């Protein structure tokens, strides 16, 4: 078995036992990237020199016999919207070409403090706007399980890097499903923490009331280990909540006997791929056999979630992306006459079609005469959606749903149909509107060999319970062990 076939936890154990060095693990990942990333395109840039230097420093610390973390020497990947000091960060957009951040995002600093080795920056949809990784200005990422298909988005590169055994874990961001949906399509575990659980400081903003950083890994335990180090209160982030951080690994193996799992009837509506629905219903029966009680619940305002999200998110994007004007950083249009032409030419040349579409939608929704009719009404619907979840979760420990309505679709299949692409997030975005934690885990495969994801939704700051419920299924049904053939 190749070193890169190990899970994060297995590698951590071998590093601790001095059976393998951090440099060896890092070289194995770099060799794997060279071997397969030409097909997958999970990485936008690999920091080989920096990674090897960090690995050598990790080995020196281990040799000195100091107290080390579980992530010490473990090679990880970062989504390209997380600021990295001294390493180009573009958010997969031409408008940020050549931008070298002067500081690290808080989550990046926390991983460095834990001794992790950071391999580089992963591909994504431009400014995290997309569900297929096809809006990246530098070309799409490919699904490791079927190279002609999308890996999901917007954190497609992070999910694909973990699935393709190029990294032992990764960080992504989730605004409307951008961790969970690619995790489902790439057969890995992805967690969106509660809004405020993980710092957003140093994350290039898309929609500030929705964005949240989270981990992706091959197993539930790997994700729990990553979350343990990034779940910190951060005074530099006004939305960071000073909540107690539990030991996420403490009750992973406790099982689900005696738990109540809710099945929202609105998440099993028409239009879902039959094989996806079957996999979720099979999982529900499996939980029942493990001692859980299944309860049908209702989230009646779910039908309005998609419309509300695609008013709120573009409105916030319109405001956040106004800073890209060619004056301070990134792309600056050449040969312009006057400030107005500088702004318009820079944005015309720098932003891709999907980003422009969402900026225009958001600007319209916020404009005079339309604010009350659109943005304000969407925020009221958001409140109703949150109340639905509060009521449903009052009587159950977690909700079980599909992650994506369909398995991985072919690249180019939906790119010219924005509404069809937006519908890919129909099961994931209500969780963001409510600020709740959500997790996707491998739930099986279609007859064509495409991964299917199961989604678990929980109460605020109850990530530990979601991880426990997910681990119970993973232990009995280790679909994560089926690697892609590259």
| CA pair distance 479, 443, nearest whole angstrom | 7
Question: Parallel, antiparallel, or unpaired for β 170-173 and 213-217?
Answer: antiparallel
Task: Take residue 253 and report the two structure tokens written for it.
Answer: 């193996």
Catalytic hit among 21, 131, 132, 154: 154
| CA pair distance 211, 205, nearest whole angstrom | 7
Task: Take residue 29 and report the two structure tokens written for it.
Answer: 């990942």
Q: Which residues pair with 84 in a beta bridge?
A: 87
User: Is 459 contained in some domain?
Assistant: yes
Give the pLDDT score at 369.
82
Give the pLDDT score at 481.
96
User: Is 356 contained in some domain?
Assistant: no
Give the pLDDT score at 166.
98
The tens place of each residue's pLDDT in the chain, 486 residues long, gives: 799 999 999 999 999 999 999 999 999 999 999 999 999 999 999 999 999 999 999 999 999 987 789 999 999 999 999 999 999 999 999 999 999 999 999 999 999 999 999 999 999 999 999 999 999 999 999 999 999 999 999 999 999 999 999 999 999 999 999 999 999 999 999 999 999 999 999 999 999 999 999 999 999 999 999 999 999 999 999 999 999 999 999 999 999 999 999 999 999 877 899 999 999 999 999 999 999 999 999 999 999 999 999 999 999 999 999 999 989 888 999 999 999 999 999 999 999 999 999 999 999 999 888 888 899 999 999 999 999 999 999 999 999 999 999 999 999 999 888 888 988 999 999 999 999 999 999 999 999 999 999 999 999 999 999 999 999 999 999 999 999 999
**Residue 154 annotated as catalytic:** yes
In three-state form (DSSP H/G/I as H, E/B as E, the rest C), the secondary structure along the chain is: CCHHHCCHHHHHHHHHCCCCCHHHHHHHHHHHHHHHHHHHCCEEEECHHHHHHHHHHHHHHHHHCCCCCCCCCCEEEEECCECECCECCCCCCHHHCCCCCCCCCHHHHHHHHCCCEEEEEECCCHHHCCCCCCCCCCCCCCECCECCECCCCCCHHHHHHHHCCCCCCEEEECCCCCCHHHHHHCCCEEEECCCCCCCCCCECCCCCCCCCEEEEECCHHHHHHHHHHHCCCCCCCCCCCCCCCCCCCCCCCCCCCCCEEEEEHHHHCCCCCHHHHHHHHHHHHHHHHCCCEEEEECCHHHHHHHHHHHHHHHHHHHHHHHHCCCCCCCCCCCCCCCHHHHHHHHHHHHCCHHHHHHHHHHHHHHCCCCCHHHHHHHHHHHHHHHHHHHHHHCCCCEEEEECCCCCCCECCCCCCCHHHHHHHHCCCHHHHHHCCCEEEEEEEECCCCCEEEEEEECCCCCHHHHHHHHHHHHHHCCHHHCCCCC
Give the pLDDT score at 69.
96
User: Is 329 contained in some domain?
Assistant: no
Catalytic hit among 58, 155, 178, 404: 178
219: left (phi over 0), alpha (psi -120 to 50) or beta: beta
Number of domains composing the chain:
1
Give the pLDDT score at 389.
98
**Residue 414 annotated as catalytic:** no
Give the pLDDT score at 479.
98
User: Is 267 contained in some domain?
Assistant: no
CA distances from 342 to 334, 338, 442 (A): 8, 6, 47
Contact 224, 71 (CB under 8 A): no
User: Is 252 contained in some domain?
Assistant: yes
| CA pair distance 125, 216, nearest whole angstrom | 17
Contact 434, 389 (CB under 8 A): yes
The CATH code of the domain that includes 417 is 3.90.1300.10
* Residue 283: alpha-carbon gap to chain centroid: 23
Q: Which domain holds residue 235?
A: 3-258+395-481
Give the pLDDT score at 444.
97
User: Is 297 contained in some domain?
Assistant: no
User: Is 24 contained in some domain?
Assistant: yes
Q: Which residues pair with 454 in a beta bridge?
A: 402, 441
């Amino acid at each position: 078995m190749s070193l890169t076939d190990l899970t994060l936890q297995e590698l951590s154990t071998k590093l601790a036992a001095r059976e393998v060095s951090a440099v060896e693990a890092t070289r194995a990942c770099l060799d794997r990237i060279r071997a397969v990333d030409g097909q997958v395109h999970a990485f936008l840039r690999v920091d080989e020199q920096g990674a090897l230097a960090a690995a050598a420093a990790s080995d020196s610390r281990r040799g000195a016999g100091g107290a080390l973390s579980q992530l010490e020497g473990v090679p990880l990947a970062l989504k390209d919207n997380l600021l990295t000091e001294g390493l180009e960060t573009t958010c997969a957009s031409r408008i940020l070409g050549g931008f070298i951040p002067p500081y690290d995002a808080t989550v990046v600093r926390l991983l460095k403090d834990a001794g992790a080795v950071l391999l580089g920056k992963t591909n994504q949809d431009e400014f995290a706007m997309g569900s297929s990784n096809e809006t990246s200005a530098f070309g799409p990422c490919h699904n490791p399980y079927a190279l002609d298909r999308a890996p999901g988005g917007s954190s497609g590169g992070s999910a694909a890097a973990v699935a393709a055994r190029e990294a032992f874990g990764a960080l992504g961001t989730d605004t409307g499903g951008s961790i969970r949906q690619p995790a489902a399509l790439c057969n890995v575990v992805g967690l969106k923490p509660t809004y405020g659980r993980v710092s957003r400081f140093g994350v290039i903003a898309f929609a500030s009331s929705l964005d949240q950083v989270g981990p992706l890994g091959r197993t539930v335990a790997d994700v729990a280990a990553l979350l343990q180090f990034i779940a910190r209160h951060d005074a530099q982030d006004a939305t960071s909540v000073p909540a107690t951080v539990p030991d996420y690994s403490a009750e992973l193996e406790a099982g689900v006997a005696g738990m109540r799992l809710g099945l929202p009837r609105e998440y099993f509506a028409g239009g879902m791929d039959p094989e996806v629905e079957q996999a979720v219903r099979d999982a529900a029966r499996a939980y029942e056999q493990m001692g859980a009680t299944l309860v049908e619940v209702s989230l009646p305002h779910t039908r309005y979630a998609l419309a509300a999200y695609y008013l709120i998110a573009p409105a916030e994007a319109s405001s956040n992306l106004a800073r890209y004007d060619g004056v301070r950083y990134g792309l600056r249009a050449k040969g312009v006459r006057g400030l107005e032409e500088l702004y318009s030419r820079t944005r015309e040349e720098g932003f891709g079609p999907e980003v422009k579409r969402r900026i225009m939608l958001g600007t319209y929704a916020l404009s005079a005469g339309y604010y009350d009719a659109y943005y304000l009404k969407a925020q009221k619907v958001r409140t109703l959606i949150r109340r639905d979840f509060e009521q449903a979760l009052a009587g159950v420990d977690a909700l079980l749903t599909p992650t994506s309505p369909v398995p991985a679709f072919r690249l180019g299949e939906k790119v010219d149909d924005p509404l069809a692409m937006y519908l890919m997030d129909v099961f994931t975005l209500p969780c963001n509107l409510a600020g709740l934690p959500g997790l996707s885990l491998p739930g099986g495969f279609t007859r064509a060999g495409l991964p299917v994801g199961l989604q678990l939704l929980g109460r605020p700051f109850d990530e530990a319970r979601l991880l426990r419920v997910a681990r119970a299924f993973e232990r009995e049904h280790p679909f994560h062990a089926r690697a892609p053939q590259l």
